[in-house]
A and B are shown apart, each in its own frame.
Chain A
Amino acid sequence: MQGNIFICLNRATYKGLIPTELEEAYSRKVYDIDSDLVEVLDTTFEDVAIDNRVKFGNVIELNIADNRYYVIELDCSWLSGEVSALLNLGSALNYPSNCLMTNTEAMELIRDNQDDQDR
């Protein structure tokens, strides 16, 4: 575990663009041969999950009440507004949609909602 927070994203959010507060840390960027920044690309949470799989681990997909959810791990800061931006994603939504979680809470959510694969 290299991140400090887990979030359970609904499908729309997972496929959608990340908040601006997360762009500096997680957006896909294009550099020229001199390592100068050329372009910041539109980046989805799905892109972030794929790009950071080695660093943070795998994406966990859950089916809960016929809805698809994706649990991903991130390293986010309060100081730069990243955590607040993630909290806002879940505003007025029901658990577990876009809900921030600790490591223990993530384990419990997955345990309760993922079929045991083989034995």
Chain B
Amino acid sequence: MINVIQNTIGSLTRRVSTAASIITQNLQMWLGFTSSSWVGGELVVLDESTNTNNAKLFTGKALSFDGVNDSVDVPSFSLTGERTFAIWFKTNSTLSNRRLFNLSSDSGSCNITLSNGLINCYDGTNNPIASTSFNDGVWHRLVIVMKSNDVKIYVDKLSQTLTTTNWINRASTNKQLRIGSNTGTQSINGYISYAEIYNAAWDSDDAVYDYANPNKLVFDNESSSIVVGDLVGYWALSEGSGSIAYDSSDGGNNGTINGATFDDKQPTIPQLGMMDWSNASGKTLIEAPNNIGYDILGNALRLREGGFNLDGSGYGSIANSTTLTDITNGTIQFWLKTSDTKFSILNGQSSSEFIGKTDNGVWTDGNVGTITAYKDGSTANTSPVYDGAWHFYTFTGVNLSTWTSFLISNLTSFELDCIVDEVLIYDDVLTATEIDNNFNVSSATHS
């Protein structure tokens, strides 16, 4: 956490030597990456300057199903009593009978289906159907709560009206569960991510919390009656590669991915770049089963450490704004922690729109005018350090007047595997004293 003092008098008073705050005079964008927030239906990191240069996040991963023969198969799954299914999905398909979940039961069934975008459930007898269709090509969070004689459906935290409710919770004992398909055919034509099954019924507050906190699990909410032990299946489907859908619930019900393929750079769904891998609930997200401390791919857990943790496949996007394009002689600062030797920090879409790019150990830029680079305060610097430790970089003389877009590490072939934090953009050149100030203020949280 960094304290803030708003300087309001002018550039002379901006020149502080012992300030305990980030300098906010002339500050046009400040991405602190402390948390993600919903703004206008998009998951963003808020701009902490007085502007609204929020960064939309594109670091989610999901499985893509082809509408024909793709599926995730869990061979043996057991479930009795009240239950809750939760999943992120995106489709524009008009196909009927496309399963999100297909759980065989000892008698009857327990299915959750999309038919021309309409969500319905089936227990072998009853078939409650929601009245609103969701085949609009955008991501939705679906929560279905199955209590005795009662089904409730929430989409994006909003309760949906059902045509019938007389539900029977069928017992399943070591039965096949399929995600994204029924019998391995008639798969959904769209995307799925973060499929969860709880052996308990959520209430409406749980659905609201779940949607508002996509990077947390519902039992992280202290006021919820749901506990970690209620989570009996959790397939994040964010592995990014391979044919195994790992179950992070401790249930050991890993699934086999048949045909479905991973897509990265997804917005809206839980953002891996902002994920707190070792959360306070005691259940580390997407940990390797039986190998705590490592993720499901066998890599050491990527801790957020207070920053935006990119793995080379995701990015942030800031909407074009005159508060940025009016900058003709400004300053960019950021913290960076990487061992990657080829990357771009801030770039647009053209070859002349990048600052903080390197593939040969030397900073390069596509900037008109002359840029001066500094590292860890006001020490002049021509190349980044690839030592896996935090370093603070400053670029002065920045001209953004011709930029058409503002992206954090989305330059083709220069996507960054790193943690980036405290991205600051000023519309003026900071002095050495000011550069040192911002470095010193934020050093304590980047050691």
Contact = CB atoms under 8 A, between A and B. Distances in A.
Given A110-B186, A119-B122, A54 B243 contact: yes
A110 B256 contact: no
A34 B258 CA distance: 30
Interface residues of B, number: 33
11 contacts: A1-B64, A1-B68, A54-B256, A57-B69, A57-B184, A59-B69, A73-B68, A73-B259, A106-B68, A107-B67, A118-B97
B422 interface: no
A6 B69 CA distance: 10
A24 B300 CA distance: 38
Interface of B is mostly: loop
B84 interface: no
Interface of A: 1-2, 6, 53-61, 71-73, 103, 106-107, 110-111, 114, 116-119
Interface of B: 64-71, 95-97, 109, 111, 113, 120, 122, 124, 127, 181-187, 189, 243, 256-261
B258 A58 contact: yes
Given A54-B243, A57-B187, A119-B127, A103 B259 contact: no
A119 B65 CA distance: 20
Contacts of A110: 68, 185-186
B68 A103 contact: yes
Contact of A103 (B66, B96, B184, B258): B66
**Which 3 pairs of residues, A with B, have the shortest CB-CB distance?**
A57-B259, A1-B66, A57-B69
A61 B184 CA distance: 11
Given A1-B66, A71-B68, A117 B243 contact: no
A107 B189 contact: yes
Contact of B111 (A53, A71, A119): A119
Contact of B96 (A56, A73, A116): A116
B109 A1 contact: no
A54 B257 contact: yes
Given A57-B71, A73-B69, A2 B261 contact: yes
A2 B258 CA distance: 10
A58 B259 contact: yes
Nearest to A6: B68
A112 to B, nearest CB: 12
A106 B66 CA distance: 10
Contacts of B120: 119
Contacts of A73: 66, 68-69, 259
A55 B71 CA distance: 11
Given A58-B185, A119-B120, 12 more contacts: A1-B68, A6-B68, A54-B243, A54-B258, A57-B71, A60-B184, A61-B185, A103-B67, A110-B68, A110-B186, A117-B183, A118-B122
Nearest to A111: B95
A5 to B, nearest CB: 12
A25 to B, nearest CB: 17
B258 A57 contact: yes
A72 B427 CA distance: 58
Contacts of B96: 111, 116
Contact of B185 (A6, A55, A60, A103): A60
A110 B95 CA distance: 11
A13 to B, nearest CB: 18
Contacts of B70: 1, 57-58
A39 B109 CA distance: 46
A60 B257 CA distance: 16
Contacts of A114: 185-186
A111 B189 CA distance: 12
B153 to A, nearest CB: 15
